[in-house]
Amino acid sequence: MVNPTLMFGPYDSKPGTGAMILAIYHQRVPGYAPGGRNYIHVRDVAEGISNALEGGSIGENYILGNENLSYRDVFARIARVVGVPAPRLALPAFVTKGYGLMSSVFGRIFNKTPILSYALARIACDEHYYTARKAVEILGLPRTPIDIAVLEAFQWFKQNGYLNVTKVQHGHNL
């Protein structure tokens, strides 16, 4: 069994996790939550899955991850890669969760998906840090720097028309 962490990379057509990159590019992120996550390049996950099929053991679990980064750090990296100022406002957990709760309530009232739901706000206040040592040692999991994953995702968004929205200088969306 393989367990990938949060993935960045090209071909994120929904976009999923790439929405974080786009929100920072459009400066719609006023600050950062107190938590953090583990990030990996989507191509490394694909290789990890392939390697697990060939060299993994039945009944074993492999975390496919790379870098543990706080939201402050990952937002700063994304901002640097896409060429915009990084969010500087540290949002306390109670503010993050309060915003998520209000967004969820308004989302239900107006039948719209909230930008930051209460469930996601709660997750954003936790640290989801992992080690992929087992996958690196046994499966030969590659570890592409997250900056490259962000750059490749951003270039793909640019080439596929995802950046055509006018930048917001001082947005209020999380």
pLDDT tens digits for 145-166?
A: 999 999 999 999 999 999 875 4
Give the mean pLDDT per block of 10 residues along the chain (174 residues). Answer: 97 92 94 97 98 95 98 98 97 96 94 90 96 97 98 96 60 34
27 vs 145: CA distance, rounded Å: 23
Cis? peptide before 15, omega within 30° of 0: yes
Q: What is the pTM of this model?
A: 0.88
Taking Cα atoms as reference points, which of 16, 31, 1, 10 lies closest to residue 171? 31
Which pLDDT belongs to residue 116? Answer: 86
The two beta strands, 36-41 and 67-70, are antiparallel
Element (H, E) at 136: helix 133-139
What is the predicted pLDDT for the residue at 165? 56
The pLDDT, as a whole number, for residue 78 is: 98
Tell me the percentage of the chain whose pLDDT exceeds 90.
89
Contact 82, 21 (CB under 8 A): yes
pLDDT on residue 171:
36
> What is the distance between the alpha carbons of residues 113 and 38, in angstroms, rounded to a whole number?
25
CA distance 89 to 16: 24
Q: Torsions phi, psi of 2, nearest 5?
A: -110, 145
CATH 3.90.550.10 fits 2-91+127-159, yes or no: no
